[in-house]
Chains A and B, each alone.
Chain A
């Protein structure tokens, strides 16, 4: 949609970009752009630098797939974490949601998606080989499936429950508490803490 505001090109470009962010409407984007205009030059340079190098400085953790700027992410590199417990999530964005509740001390594994045949996303598109490797190393006692509770999330959990099965491994699913149909990204920490404690055994 064209902006009928008549800002000069550089501002209009910025507003257009800001508007693509979640929760930012036309007016907010305008206010943010005008506020940036007031920033000291050095701060603007720094922001620009952060943006332009963001991708290059981040990569998936070699172990779990979480966002990292070192080979291992901060969680995997932390010696205090319980390595015999792995919580499987759809995307790296879900890790901070669970971390915020503070009750999970294990490690994560990021699938990089979920089963969604309508979008041509099958098991092949998930980071499953990496997960199998971690399990094969033998140290993991329990896998918690924390995929969303909608149709695709549940199907992914059902698939993993079958696919990951091996002797001695407990596979559990975070239980209700996460509202049915809700995206786990929106659940509050208390809900997630309850859900993690009440997880049910699938193995």
Chain B
């Protein structure tokens, strides 16, 4: 793959020590589309996971940090080097008893100041949960995408989650705290809650044309739609949202005191996915749900590419997804990502997909060749 003019920002090197199956690895990550081949258990997914972790400080397959550390190692370290466009930047994560983060050698205290220096979107088989799983998976999808596009989204979200935890704890001990203390937390719950609802509404609006397009490409003429349905209704003025959310809190006060939990707010909202107006979670076939998950991810990838990809670098990670698609959709997918500036795609055999790739590498014995 060749670039006209300055190269866009991309991941140029990945160094791992004690990460998953890797004792020590320094891999110059190529630009363009790279196929990763190798036997089952060779460590292909582990590589993609490391890239994802460097971008987001979260794995796409576990919430348990301990799993990332190589079994015989006390911790792990991971260095991702970004380059292109006259820039190099080094992101370093060291996980021992504690995690320490550095950007270009400067210690970073807060995870929120470390993540999203570059952007990663992962396509994984578990993505079907985006369609078939509980609403929390769809909210997480929106929240991660929103945070990648806008650091303010992440701030609002973490403040909201903190108010929510405190308020739920208060509701559980309501007798000791009383109404006035509850009201003191309501103000912030409503303020941050409305801010998140507003941002999600805007985000889904921005995602709509991308989703329509990828829906069309995968389903032919079917109409794939995502609609965010907050408890407040979808009128997007911040004042209206705030007022509605507050009214709903007041209305639910007695139930909340009885149940000991906050019942309304963006932590309960749904992103409704429909194909030809029918809710997919209930009516979608297995194949339709898989394809929808793929279309959602692709839409989010395109939105990121349009809004932020050039400046920060955007890498596409595709793990074991191709094998689950029928031949036609696999072709469609490969055609669609062919032009992307950087992609890592795991496959068991490369032959069939090789024509779409800029290079094929083999993962074997803790090394990449």
Hey, which bits of chain A sit against chain B, CB under 8 A? 1, 115-118, 120, 122-124, 150-152, 154-156, 158-159, 162-163, 180-181
Nearest to A154 among chain B residues (CB) is B188
Q: B172 — which chain A residues lie within 8 A by C-beta? A: 117
B159 in complex: contacting residue of A115, A124, A151, A158, CB < 8 Å: A151
Nearest to B172 among chain A residues (CB) is A117
Evaluate contact between B166 and A116: CB separation under 8 angstroms. yes
Evaluate contact between B184 and A158: CB separation under 8 angstroms. yes
List B178-236 residues whose CB lies under 8 Å from chain A: 178, 180-181, 183-185, 187-188
Evaluate contact between B165 and A162: CB separation under 8 angstroms. no
Nearest to B176 among chain A residues (CB) is A122
Docked complex Cα distance between A118 and B171 (Å): 10
With A118-B169, A154-B187, A180-B155 given, can you name 15 additional A-B contacts, CB distance below 8 Å?
Answer: A115-B166, A115-B185, A117-B177, A117-B181, A118-B165, A118-B166, A120-B173, A123-B177, A151-B188, A152-B166, A155-B187, A158-B183, A158-B184, A159-B181, A181-B155
Evaluate contact between A158 and B187: CB separation under 8 angstroms. yes
Main secondary structure of the interface of A (DSSP, over half): helix
Docked complex Cα distance between A118 and B180 (Å): 17
Hey, which bits of chain B sit against chain A, CB under 8 A? 97, 155, 159, 162-163, 165-167, 169-170, 172-173, 176-178, 180-181, 183-185, 187-188
A14 CB to closest chain B CB (Å) equals 23
Nearest to B171 among chain A residues (CB) is A117
Q: B184 — which chain A residues lie within 8 A by C-beta? A: 115, 155-156, 158-159, 162
Evaluate contact between A163 and B173: CB separation under 8 angstroms. no
Docked complex Cα distance between A118 and B185 (Å): 13
Q: A180 — which chain B residues lie within 8 A by C-beta? A: 155
Sampled A-B contacts (14; CB under 8 Å): A115-B181, A117-B185, A118-B169, A122-B176, A123-B177, A150-B162, A151-B163, A154-B188, A155-B166, A155-B184, A155-B187, A159-B184, A181-B155, A181-B159
Nearest to B170 among chain A residues (CB) is A117
Q: A122 — which chain B residues lie within 8 A by C-beta? A: 170, 173, 176-177, 181
A155 in complex: contacting residue of B97, B155, B185, CB < 8 Å: B185
A88 CB to closest chain B CB (Å) equals 14
Q: Given A117-B167, A155-B185, A158-B187, decide whether A163 and B180 contact each other with a Cβ distance below 8 A.
A: yes
Most buried by B among A1, A117, A123, A158: A117
Q: A181 — which chain B residues lie within 8 A by C-beta? A: 155, 159
Docked complex Cα distance between A116 and B162 (Å): 11
Evaluate contact between A123 and B163: CB separation under 8 angstroms. no
Q: B97 — which chain A residues lie within 8 A by C-beta? A: 1
Evaluate contact between B173 and A123: CB separation under 8 angstroms. no
B194 CB to closest chain A CB (Å) equals 15
A117 CB to closest chain B CB (Å) equals 4
Q: A158 — which chain B residues lie within 8 A by C-beta? A: 183-185, 187-188
Q: A115 — which chain B residues lie within 8 A by C-beta? A: 166, 181, 184-185
Evaluate contact between A124 and B176: CB separation under 8 angstroms. yes
Q: A116 — which chain B residues lie within 8 A by C-beta? A: 166
Nearest to A162 among chain B residues (CB) is B180
A24 CB to closest chain B CB (Å) equals 16
Nearest to A158 among chain B residues (CB) is B184
Docked complex Cα distance between A122 and B181 (Å): 8
Evaluate contact between B178 and A123: CB separation under 8 angstroms. yes
Q: Given A122-B181, A123-B181, decide whether A155 and B188 contact each other with a Cβ distance below 8 A.
A: yes
Nearest to A122 among chain B residues (CB) is B177
A23 CB to closest chain B CB (Å) equals 13
Evaluate contact between A117 and B183: CB separation under 8 angstroms. no
Nearest to A161 among chain B residues (CB) is B184
Nearest to B112 among chain A residues (CB) is A181
Docked complex Cα distance between A151 and B181 (Å): 13
Docked complex Cα distance between A181 and B176 (Å): 27
A159 in complex: contacting residue of B162, B167, B180, CB < 8 Å: B180
Q: Which 10 A-B pairs have the closest CB atoms?
A: A117-B169, A117-B170, A159-B184, A158-B184, A118-B169, A155-B184, A151-B162, A122-B177, A155-B185, A151-B163
Docked complex Cα distance between A158 and B190 (Å): 13
Docked complex Cα distance between A79 and B163 (Å): 41
Docked complex Cα distance between A152 and B169 (Å): 13
Q: Given A151-B188, A154-B188, decide whether A117 and B180 contact each other with a Cβ distance below 8 A.
A: no
Q: B165 — which chain A residues lie within 8 A by C-beta? A: 118
Evaluate contact between A151 and B166: CB separation under 8 angstroms. yes
Q: B176 — which chain A residues lie within 8 A by C-beta? A: 120, 122, 124
B173 CB to closest chain A CB (Å) equals 6
A131 CB to closest chain B CB (Å) equals 15
Evaluate contact between B178 and A117: CB separation under 8 angstroms. no
Q: Given A123-B181, A158-B184, A162-B180, decide whether A117 and B159 contact each other with a Cβ distance below 8 A.
A: no
Docked complex Cα distance between A120 and B176 (Å): 9
Docked complex Cα distance between A152 and B177 (Å): 14
A1 CB to closest chain B CB (Å) equals 8
Evaluate contact between B166 and A123: CB separation under 8 angstroms. no
Nearest to A119 among chain B residues (CB) is B169
Q: B155 — which chain A residues lie within 8 A by C-beta? A: 180-181
Q: A155 — which chain B residues lie within 8 A by C-beta? A: 163, 166, 181, 184-185, 187-188
